[in-house]
Structure 1
Amino acid sequence: MRGTDWLITTAMVLSMGTAHALTADELVAKNIEARGGAEKLHAIQTLKLTGKLVVNGQFELAMMQISKRPAMYRNEASLQGLTAVQAYDGTQAWQIQPFGGRKDPEKLSADDAKDLAESADIDGPLVDYKSKGYTLDYLGTEDVDGTEAHKLKLTKKDGDVEIVYLDPDHFLEIRSLTQRIVHGVEQVNETDFGEFEKVNGVFLPFAIESGPKGVADKPQKISFDKAEINVPADDATFHFPANAGAAK
């Protein structure tokens, strides 16, 4: 490369670096576009994912989770003939935890339901964040395992906070950090996303790892091997069983 070519190239690079810093809303728009676009995302009425859950590197469970608009969610984790269930019907959350010796369904408190209610959001927190009553702030960039990721802060109506980290090249979520108050105590949970695959024109993460903030080897690791969009899902699947006993 000739000297003048090098100078021109350098000037162009410097210009690109100082030209226009992305705003929070521009980053959200890029994220939505990268995932497949608002139209394709809004067209998803149900999303079913199947795969496996590994807990503490020791226990491997068959995993299934399904979401349905407007705000329903159910997940199942099975091992040795037992199946744990957690579900949310848009109002009430409930669970069955046979691994803890509780085989009957039990209703969950509003605080305990927060994670399930957020999982019911097929679009994710950034899409239509204003209509959800969230406020959004751009906090610059932060190192995420060697990547200078864009850092977006969502403050929710109840005061809970979610930090979403976007890859600077592809603008897909690579990490989220949730800060919520549960039973008067702050809980901070970190989730990493990876192995994105395109399904019906929409990119979905097929690898999800979660645990307390700062833990290098996260205790829960999910790997999906199948994603199905707009499969039939009966609303009864998400409701507290009608024949169950009174909530404990």
Structure 2
Amino acid sequence: MKLVKTLFILAVVAVTMPLSAQTADEIISTYIENTGGDAWNDVEATKMSATVNQGGMSIPVTVYNTKDGKQAVVIEFNGQKITQMAFDGETLWTTNFMSMKPEKASEEMSNNMKLNNNDFPSPLLHYKENGYEVEYVGVETKDGAETYKVKVVQEPVMMNGVETPSISYYYFDQDSYVPIAIETTQMGQPINITMSDYQEVEGLYFPFAMSQAGQPFQMSEIVVNPEIDESIFEFPEE
């Protein structure tokens, strides 16, 4: 009887495991399908308009991203538009808020930014082609929600001349399969990103509420394939 009982338990486990087991590939595939599927491949650029509350002030922020890796973050402060960060595919630069003059980042930082050129609109979209490693970690409660935790390993970055692993952890909501949190590192510092309020834009679903390092962002508009003045990415030569 004991042997029969043991075999019965093993049989039940064998039947139920395929129904409940998840793989990283399945989770990511379901996420992409649920949020737009093949339509993601038609996205050449995005323009995201948001507001950031800082020190009791509501600051408008516009974020531009393109398929070839160009990025720009433009804020409006005291009636003036300021490029907080921009990358033209080769050079990363910022605005010094003391002198209000543009400054180029280090060559190392620019080279690290180049690694993102294949990651638009998400590093999960073509992770296999880019050679990224993904691993299903398990089920975990995150911000009160049951999630699937997936580890993503991208190309290593250079930090002060030392090659450093680039590892992120994505937390996918078990019901919708959309990421609601990401744990990663930027400039060698741990960064927590949260995402919620997914809304449809031209058949694609984007989070309209985000928080990075405790700083909340509320999206007011997301435009897919907008017309962009390429000069916003370029370092302003005097």
- The bucket for the TM-score relative to the shorter chain is 0.7 to 0.9
Structure 2 alignment gaps of length 5 or more: 1-14, 157-164
Whole-angstrom CA distance in 2 between matches of 1:108 and 1:120 = 21
Query: In the TM superposition, what whole-angstrom CA distance separates every residue of 1:130-175 from its partner, at most 9, and x where no partner exists?
Result: 2223211110011111112111111111111111111100001100
Contact 2:115 2:155 in 1 (8 A): no
Distance 1:76 1:224, change over 3 A: same
For residue 40 of structure 1, what is the aligned residue in structure 2?
Answer: 39
Q: 2:191 aligns with which of 164, 189, 192?
A: 189
Whole-angstrom CA distance in 1 between matches of 2:109 and 2:191 = 14
For residue 132 of structure 2, what is the aligned residue in structure 1?
Answer: 134
Identical counterparts, % of pairs: 24
Q: 1:102 aligns with which of 91, 99, 104?
A: 99
Structure 1 alignment gaps of length 5 or more: 1-14, 212-217
Whole-angstrom CA distance in 2 between matches of 1:233 and 1:150 = 36
Give the AA of the match of 1:205. Answer: P
Larger deviation, residues 127-136 vs 42-51 = 127-136
Q: What TM-score do the two structures reach when normalised by structure 2? A: 0.82
Q: How many residues align?
A: 216
For residue 31 of structure 1, what is the aligned residue in structure 2?
Answer: 31
For residue 240 of structure 1, what is the aligned residue in structure 2?
Answer: 235
Q: 1:70 aligns with which of 68, 93, 118?
A: 68
Query: In the TM superposition, what whole-angstrom CA distance separates every residue of 1:185-241 from its partner, at most 9, and x where no partner exists?
Result: x31000000111100000011111111xxxxxx1x1111111111111233321212
For residue 83 of structure 1, what is the aligned residue in structure 2?
Answer: 81
Distance 1:95 1:136, change over 3 A: same
Give the AA of the match of 1:176. Answer: I
1:206 matches 2:208: yes
Q: CA deviation at 1:115?
A: 7.0
For residue 229 of structure 1, what is the aligned residue in structure 2?
Answer: 224
For residue 22 of structure 2, what is the aligned residue in structure 1?
Answer: 22
Q: CA deviation at 1:91?
A: 2.0
